[in-house]
Amino acid sequence: MTANFVIAMLLIAGSALAPVISQTQKPVRVFVQTDDTGVAEELAAREASVKDLSEALASRKKLFVVVDDEDKSEIQIEVLGRGLTVPKVVLGLGPRPGESSIGSAPTKNAELRIRVTVTSSDLKAELKNKNKANDNPRGWKSAADDLADQLDKWVLENRAAIGKGSSVN
């Protein structure tokens, strides 16, 4: 065997073990909520996003377990707000195929903002969805799915801080 062959085999074996190592860790217990203040319409919208985000996280069973008691959670997620933003207009571009150039309203982006707090430390982060209106035909559910994807990465990057001091089973 050549040295290059042995190195290649070790790299392949190492990359095959990486998913096994990450799968052996217990899922993170997550509590999703929103502040109960605000105008009734806005509060109802945030509560709908709490439900959407909870469902998006619950579907990722290997990484998250959604709990209904904040004392049992390892991370807490607060839906801070949601709104529609109008992206900047780019001049000089005509309508896309299938779009009307007369009387069309500007495209709006759904923007969902959350705060993530690790209960066993003072680690916090604020996130917002990154997908745009053309990317999310499902609206708010798509924004929640995008945030769940971001939370996947955030939890994997901060796994050591999340596991510290956790005594609830």
Per-residue model confidence as pLDDT tens digits over 56-95: 999 999 999 999 999 999 999 999 998 877 766 655 555 5
pLDDT of residue 43: 94
17 falls within a domain: no
CATH assignment of the domain containing 122: 3.40.50
Q: Report pLDDT digits (tens) over 9-55.
A: 555 555 444 444 444 688 999 999 999 998 999 999 999 999 999 99
51 falls within a domain: yes
pLDDT of residue 34: 95
> Who has greater pLDDT, 97 or 125?
125
Classify the C-alpha dihedral 46-47-48-49 as positive or negative: positive
**pLDDT tops 60 at residue 142:** yes
7 falls within a domain: no
The token pair at 14 is 């190492």
Classify the C-alpha dihedral 11-151-146-125 as positive or negative: negative
pLDDT of residue 167: 41
**pLDDT tops 90 at residue 134:** no
CB of 115 closer than 8 Å to CB of 87: no
68 falls within a domain: yes
Q: The domain containing residue 154 runs over which residues?
A: 25-86+106-163
94 falls within a domain: no
> Who has greater pLDDT, 140 or 138?
140
**pLDDT tops 50 at residue 154:** yes
pTM given for the model: 0.71
CB of 27 closer than 8 Å to CB of 57: no
45 falls within a domain: yes
Residue 81 bridge partners (DSSP): 113
93 falls within a domain: no
60 falls within a domain: yes
pLDDT of residue 22: 47
> Who has greater pLDDT, 74 or 166?
74
Total domains, the chain: 1
For 78, half-sphere exposure in the C-beta direction (CA atoms, 13 angstrom radius) is 13
Lateral strand order in the sheet of 64-66: 64-66, 28-34, 75-85, 109-118, 124-128
